[in-house]
Chains A and B, each alone.
Chain A
Amino acid sequence: MSDTLPLGLDRSLIGAEFDSSTSEPVAAEDIRAYADALGEAHPSYLGPDPIAPPTFCVKFRGTRFHHTAIPREAFHGGFDAGKDIHFGVPIRPGDVIHTRNVLHDVYEKTGRSGSMVFVVARQTMTNQRGEMIAVIDSRFMLRPKERAE
């Protein structure tokens, strides 16, 4: 395997943290409001001491989508290519959510529309007890500008 990633990025950047954040304590009414917005009717999400629906965790996204090493000038567009979420313990009122974002992978592939670079950011989310709330792999497709031949 090459020592460099697409765009000449150093492979040592894989696993490098580029963002972290800590939330305010989660409020029960925020959990209930989110559940209601989803149309959830299960009492565990709506009662006086609710647990959050699993996807509630996505709101704790940190402050950056990408590692600063990703050269924006090398691309002329792209799109969100989806998420894989591995859920841990549910979020409860009073939980303080800590997120840590690392650059998980950068790879290139070719398709009908040409060359694409995929950047995968992995966000690990834990509560104040150090329990894993979620691990989220967010995938972004970036369209590189034409390569010089």
Chain B
Amino acid sequence: MILDLHAHSKKSEDSRATVVGYLQWLLKKKEVLPIDGLVLTEHRQFDGETDYRRLEDEYGIRIFKGSEVETDYGHVLVYGVNQAMLDRFDFTNVRLSAQEVITDVEELGGIAVPCHPGRPTVGLCEHYEVKPPLEGVRAVELLNGGSRKGENERVEDLIRKHGYAAVGGSDSHLVSFIGICATRFPREISDEEDLVRALREGGYHPVDFRDRLAGR
């Protein structure tokens, strides 16, 4: 199963993409973007209200929900968000303790994945140059569709050094960026809790569809 693990809808203030727009695009581009589902990881919030089941049925594409939070080691994707996590952390706080997020999210049934680690200021690589590495990190986002030249490549060194698993996501804020990077899992994933299990199990790897999309 191929999932775009990192996407933003209009609920993120800097995105102009609607979920319907994403689905229509993926349907139109399915020959070059074989995406089975996407995870909406809205900035500094969790959308616990919107029910996407009707859209899932209509378009045949799974829609999962997570969050992207901001910490003292950069941005982190949180999967398996539940009420206990929302009670534990103020997702609007841009200075969360990354170590607490990694550790406590895991304890509360989720998984926290540092995203765009190679990005200046808000990526793990730069923080690891001056601070101790975080404990308990299982995976990082090797392929981020919004990264600039060289940023994804910095992450390869990080992964080699620390033995992290690697995921991919588009970090899409516009409809036409959905699915350009994604993660291939060895099995079907049924819901957010199952996504957490799959991310903990391993056996997945990032996939890059940008060349296919560009016809190269």
Residues of chain A touching chain B, judged by Cβ–Cβ distance below 8 Å, are 1-2, 107-115, 118, 139
Which single residue of chain A is at the shortest CB-CB distance from B148?
Answer: A112
B153 contacts across to A, CB distance below 8 A: none
Provide the bound-state CA to CA distance between A1 and B119, in Å.
28
Chain A positions within 8 Å of B112 at CB level? none
Q: How far is the CB of A146 from chain B (nearest CB, A)?
A: 14
Given the known A-B contacts A107-B13, A118-B13, are A112 and B122 also in contact in the complex, defined by CB atoms under 8 Å? yes
Known: A107-B13, A110-B94. 16 other contacts (CB 8 A): A1-B90, A2-B90, A2-B93, A107-B44, A107-B92, A108-B94, A109-B70, A110-B70, A110-B121, A111-B121, A111-B122, A112-B119, A112-B120, A114-B121, A115-B94, A139-B13
> Interface readout for B116-140 with A: 1 if CB under 8 Å, 0 if not?
0001111000000000000000000
**CB of A105, distance to nearest CB on chain B (Å):** 8
Interface residues of B (CB under 8 A from A): 13, 43-44, 70, 75, 90, 92-94, 119-122
Q: Across the interface, do A112 and B121 meet the contact criterion of CB distance under 8 Å?
A: yes
CB distance from B65 to the nearest CB of A (A): 19
C-alpha spacing A107/B94, complex, angstroms: 9
Q: List, in ascending order, chain B residues with CB within 8 A of A111's CB.
A: 121-122
Q: B13, B90, B120, B122 — which one has the most chain A CB atoms within 10 A of its CB?
A: B13
Bound Cα distance from A112 to B118, whole angstroms: 10
Residues from chain A with a CB closer than 8 A to the CB of B44 are: 107, 109
Nearest Cβ distance between residue B114 and chain A, in whole angstroms? 14
Instruction: Please determine whether B93 and A113 come into contact, CB atoms closer than 8 angstroms.
Output: no
Query: How long is the Cα–Cα vector from A58 to B22 in the complex, in angstroms?
Result: 30
> Cβ of A2: which chain B residues have Cβ within 8 Å of it?
90, 92-93
Q: Which residue of B lies closest to A105 (CB)?
A: B13
Closest 4 CB pairs of A and B: A108-B94, A112-B120, A110-B70, A110-B94
Cα of A114 to Cα of B94 in the assembled complex, Å = 11
- Chain A residues with Cβ below 8 Å from B121 are 110-114
The minimal Cβ–Cβ distance linking B102 to chain A, given in whole angstroms, is 18
A109 and B94 contact, Cβ closer than 8 Å, known pairs A114-B121, A118-B13: yes
Q: Complex: how many Å from CA A129 to CA B150? A: 57
Residue of A nearest to B43 (CB): A109
Q: How far is the CB of A138 from chain B (nearest CB, A)?
A: 13
> In the assembly, what is the distance between CA of A112 and CA of B120, in Å?
5
Query: For A1, A2, A110, A139, which residue has the most chain B Cβ atoms within 10 angstroms?
Result: A110
Q: How far is the CA of A112 from the CA of B44 in the complex (A)?
A: 16
Residues of A within 8 A of B93 (CB): 2
Contacts of A139 in B (CB 8 A): 13
Q: Which residue of B lies closest to A118 (CB)?
A: B13
Bound: A107/B120 CA distance, A: 21
Q: How far in angstroms is the closest Cβ of chain B from A9?
A: 13
Q: How far is the CA of A107 from the CA of B13 in the complex (A)?
A: 10
With a cutoff of 8 Å between Cβ atoms, the chain A residues found around residue B120 in the complex are 112
Q: Interface centre among A2, A112, A113, A115, by most B CB within 10 Å?
A: A112
